[in-house]
Amino acid sequence: MSEPARANPRYTPYHPRWHRRRMPIFWWLGRLSYTRFITRELTSLAVAYTALFLLAALCALAYGEADWEAFLARLRHPGWVAFHVGVFLFLLFHTVTWLGLAPKALVLKVGRRRLPDAAVVAGHYAAWAAASALVLAFFLWRTG
């Protein structure tokens, strides 16, 4: 404990207010890398919306055929179709940028050598394609 603090327990060192430049709200538009980062973060709202949308679809399905048909009829409105096309594009951007970050988050080694970043990204894209093919095959099998 410092000498002034021992002599006076209520003593606090004086710190003048530090000078901080004001940051404009759209500071992230100044560089393309910042813009891509913030955009990817904002597209996580589309991910959250999709999760809630799937829960709403499951609830409509659980309440019976009439509710499910009403749910589907609402979704056929051109406004909803356009909105969901936008959500799909946001999800696609989010996925591509997220998979591009995989080599930074996952360091794979074969023996003592690090796997190249391109191999890690290619593996993630292959897993994405395989999972998408399985889902598509399941739905085509169920409807066919």
- pLDDT 10s digit of each residue in the chain, 144 long? 566 556 666 766 666 677 778 888 998 899 999 998 899 999 999 999 999 999 999 999 999 999 999 999 999 999 999 999 999 999 999 999 999 988 988 888 888 999 999 999 999 999 999 999 999 999 899 876
Cα–Cα distance, 9 to 72 (Å, whole number): 69
Number of domains, the chain:
1
Cα–Cα distance, 117 to 137 (Å, whole number): 30
* Residue 7 falls inside a structural domain: no
Cα–Cα distance, 55 to 73 (Å, whole number): 17
* Residue 49 falls inside a structural domain: yes
For residue 127, give the CATH number of its domain. Answer: 1.20.1300.10
* Residue 114 falls inside a structural domain: yes
Put simply, whether the predicted model's pTM sits higher than 0.85 gets the answer no
Cα–Cα distance, 105 to 44 (Å, whole number): 18
Asked if 88 and 44 touch (Cβ cutoff 8 Å), the reply is: no
